[in-house]
Amino acid sequence: MRARKLAGALGAEVSGIDLSCLSAAEFQQLKKLWMEHLVLFFRDQALTEPQYMSFAERFGEPVEYPLVKGLQGFPKIIEVKKLEHERVNFGGIWHTDTAYLERPPMASMLLAREVPPFGGDTLFANMYLAYEALSEGMKALLSSLKAINSSRKADASKTREDRIRTDGAQQSDFVAEHPVVRRHPETGRKALYVNSGHTLRFAGWTEEESAGLLKYLYELQTRPEFTCRFSWQPGSIALWDNRCAQHNPVNDYHGHRRVMHRITLAGDVPA
């Protein structure tokens, strides 16, 4: 097994491993690498749905995504797809997955089934580094704040319209309040936990009052030096820590098809 860093901020590509038959020692090494790099990437993993689920279950408990129905026979695997005639890509905005739930997922993983001939990369950003870049005064201010997160925030809702129309689940309105700064339950590090896709405002503040500070935080979170970029191939897998990383799929392949299979893993209440 070998791990190659993709960028200074986060991300490592792991090679020399078959995810369909992980040994206990290999899994422990992967877990350590994941805690260190926040997102791991794998190539040439031609996993069947049962093998993909088995790999996910090594890391945690797969859960159903609340807004889109899963695959037939595999309700905890959803298709993240953009078809040839569609112009908007699913989740095409910087965000943390389902921060509008009381217990947002610990992690998400994506397996590329079909990729366009160009484009369709995914960006990732390190929220530890975003928090650590703040001044001591700003850290003190944010330490007592909580944020209201909603599944119906307009910019994110627009990216789901095609999938909700074809594969939507029944309930689509979720709201949750979480600390603006959360401590990772395994590493103990603090991470900035607001995101432009779901955060509406600070608790006890109006949206107008919140807008300026949130805009500053969103811009800070996605500074180039806090990010990495991954280019997909069929059989590529990304596994990211939803507690300390954000992501943004780039929408630059109009007229082409992109189909990914996603699994989310149960998390805890942010604290």
Check 37, 163, 198, 262 and give the catalytic one. 262
Partners of residue 122 on adjacent β-strands: 230, 249
178 is catalytic: no
| Residues 260, 234: Cα–Cα separation, whole Å | 9
Both structure tokens of 113 = 């089934």
Quote the DSSP letter at residue 224.
G
247 is catalytic: yes
pLDDT tens-digit profile of 25-83?
999 999 999 999 999 999 999 999 999 999 999 999 999 988 888 999 999 999 999 99
Q: For the chain, how are helix, strand and coil distributed in percent, rounded to 5?
A: 25, 30, 45
223 is catalytic: no
pLDDT tens-digit profile of 213-270?
999 999 999 999 999 999 999 999 999 999 999 999 999 999 999 999 999 999 999 9
Check 178, 182, 247, 258 and give the catalytic one. 247
pTM of the model: 0.94
Check 95, 163, 182, 261 and give the catalytic one. 95
Rg (alpha carbons) of the chain, rounded to whole number: 18
3-state secondary structure of 218: helix
Domains of the chain, by residue range, sit at 2-265
Do 65 and 79 form a contact (C-beta atoms < 8 A)?
no
Q: How far is CA 269 from CA 56, 191, 224, in A?
A: 20, 14, 29
| pLDDT of the residue at 152 | 86
Check 37, 97, 178, 261 and give the catalytic one. 97
Q: Domain 2-265 has what CATH class?
A: alpha beta
Give helix 24-37 / helix 49-59 axis angle, nearest 10°: 70
95 is catalytic: yes
